[in-house]
A and B are shown apart, each in its own frame.
Chain A
Amino acid sequence: MRNGDGNLGLRAQALSVTLGGRTVLHGVDLEAKPGEVLALLGPNGAGKSTLLKALAGLLPYEGRVEIAGADVGSLSSRARAKQISYVPQRSLLRSALSVEEVVALGRYVHGGSFGGMSKNDRDAIDHALETAHADVLRDRIFTQLSVGEQQRVLLARALASDAPILLLDEPTAALDVGEGMAVLRLIRTLAARNHTLIVVLHDLADARSTTDRALLLKEGRVVEQGATADVVSAEPIRAVYGVKLVENARIGFEADPEGTGTDAHTGTGTDTDTGTDTDADTGTDTDTDTDTDTSTGTGTDTGTGTGTGTGTG
């Protein structure tokens, strides 16, 4: 089951969630396919995280969330956790567990009540640590890591469960630019390995660079759904956020293979541009990446590729 083999994706129909007497999600339909990254977008309070938790089976809901032909709500917590892994924005873990021990928690669904670890467990943990580029952190204490490092460990914990469907709640929030890019690159790597990923993002540029499809929420309702480039475009963004979308307006960043600054978590991931200089169907897009790399490979150089181009205003 590693790498999301046999993954059938996730489908939600007429999903509504009522919390404390208030309906915070109204009849959401969505589908996430294997090998695909679906972004959940929307302003604060739109219900993105609530939707994610409902999909993970962590909140009571009305409607149907289907994985592998079964409704999430009807599965035992164990059966559900074998299919779906949920990665919170921050872990509430405060105890002094090592990174390896934290990742080993992800194997819970496969183990009995006895303490021992099978070879399969250890392989899964190694594989997960490697994939998330967290193997160098293995013996560190989780609570002493930076937020970005913790995020990679939480991803490794989710991967260790061998669940094909991964739900990530704002995985790049509170990360610096290098850490954030490492996580986004990891998301692409996992999609390439046939995982299904549903990711709450608040950065629309990240959504454009990393996700295939997007779902835009406002006040608990779906405003727009489809290819990310279509969803994150002028009209829906204006309608939901009340701002004007400007293509290629700001500086963007891309990973620098020579730089050492964020090298601990770069590794062999597929290189995807982040920032606003991604190709969208907006006509003439002269993507001139001027990589101002003066120092050769030393120092903390985060290659500032300033994407300049003519966009739709």
Chain B
Amino acid sequence: MRLYPLLFLLLLVAGALAVLVGSGDLTDPELRDTFLKLRGYRLAAAFLAGAALAVGGVVVQGLFRNPLASPSVLGTTAGASFGGQVALLTYGLAGVGGSFVVPEMTVPIGCFVGALASLAVLLLFLRVTQDLLALLLTGFVLSALFLSLSAFVTSVAQETWELGRAVVSFSLGSVSGTGPRQLAFALPLIAVALVACWFWGRSLDLLLSGEEEAQSMGANVGAVRWWSAIWVSVLVAGAVSVGGNVGFVGLVVPHMLRPFAGTKHQRLIPAAALAGGVFLVACDIIARVIPSRSEIPLGVVTGLIGAPLFLLLLIRLRRERAYA
């Protein structure tokens, strides 16, 4: 159990750095409060998104019995991002719901629908083949599809300048502009989904042995799959609505953790939530300190870490012939 003290320590260090590091001048007493508040939101957004994406990664890896799966690799994040854009567009053009509904609310719903749609395609695909690489390829295709659809939505949104700006900034995604209202909507979503994933953990353990064995040991495989997909969609929706399209967190974090936390889901999920949060906060700090003309997007940092790891894992899997 030395893992948790370490993770909490890392969280403390990362949290402190996240508040202290940045381009703003904290010695100016007039601006200090504003800077600290903005960095606080940013810290919270990065932590929430990281926790959600890491646990999402753990669950989809178990769900598809595929160590290379993650919400971004499978196209779930792209689906959520597209769903969020459509929600913004519908809200902006049609003014759905009048003054009672705010974009902070419609966006997570759109994200959820988009994420679930892309996971549903993969679950239906599982009936045809269980091949690891075929699954990943389908994920890539879904990802590409949603990205091109997103481009279309973005072009439609350019009709009005304000809406166009909103859609573009959402699809670029960043934790830097996240406000308290977005956090207030995302926090309960993510919290509930994290707990729900933990509850399905025992069933996901059974699923590691494949559908037939899981069923023979008493798991209702259909229920496990669809409920897991629903809760992962909620997690990804929450993460995308506060942090945009950030990739590879769900791939990197579970793999870093397994040597310490093991494979059982109920041990892995809480650890992944903490570690994922810390990881994304750390990536956000890196994004801020690397000197560049404008700030580096968070997704670039996670991508630079995640993409090589993905290739390494792929090579290792091929060597072990772990897929067939």
A residues at B contact (CB < 8 Å): 53, 56, 58, 76-78, 80-82, 84-86, 88, 91-97, 101, 105-106, 108-109, 111, 113, 115, 157, 161
Contacts and interface: CB of A to CB of B under 8 A. Distances in A.
Contacts of A91: 209-210, 213
Ranked nearest first, the 4 interchain pairs of A and B with the lowest CB-CB distance are A81-B218, A92-B210, A86-B216, A109-B218
Interface stretch (B15-23, B156-164, B173-181, B199-207): B199-207
Nearest to B221: A77
B210 A77 contact: no
Contacts of B264: 97, 101
B263 A97 contact: yes
A81 B210 contact: no
B288 interface: no
A108 B218 contact: yes
B218 A80 contact: yes
Contact of B208 (A76, A77, A97, A161): A97
Interface of B: 65, 199-203, 205-206, 208-210, 212-213, 215-221, 258, 262-264, 266-267, 322
Contact of B217 (A76, A92, A108): A108
B133 to A, nearest CB: 14
B322 A78 contact: no
Contacts, number: 82
Given A77-B220, A84-B216, A86-B213, 13 more contacts: A58-B212, A77-B215, A80-B218, A82-B218, A85-B217, A86-B216, A88-B216, A92-B213, A95-B65, A101-B205, A108-B205, A108-B219, A111-B202
Contacts of A96: 258, 262-263
B309 to A, nearest CB: 18
Given A101-B264, A115-B201, A93 B218 contact: no
Contacts of A111: 202
Contacts of A113: 199-202
Nearest to B258: A96
A134 to B, nearest CB: 16
A108 B212 CA distance: 15
B204 to A, nearest CB: 11
Nearest to A157: B217
B208 A95 contact: yes
B209 A161 contact: no
A115 B65 CA distance: 21
Contacts of B267: 115
Contacts of A84: 216
A109 B218 CA distance: 6
B59 to A, nearest CB: 14
B267 to A, nearest CB: 8
19 contacts: A53-B212, A58-B215, A58-B216, A77-B220, A77-B221, A84-B216, A91-B209, A92-B65, A96-B258, A96-B262, A96-B263, A97-B262, A97-B263, A105-B209, A108-B203, A108-B219, A113-B200, A113-B202, A115-B266
A161 B217 contact: yes
Nearest to B216: A86
A238 to B, nearest CB: 35
B209 A85 contact: no
Contacts of A58: 212, 215-216
Nearest to B223: A77
A88 B213 contact: yes
B220 A76 contact: yes
Contacts of A86: 213, 216
A56 B213 CA distance: 11
A142 to B, nearest CB: 10
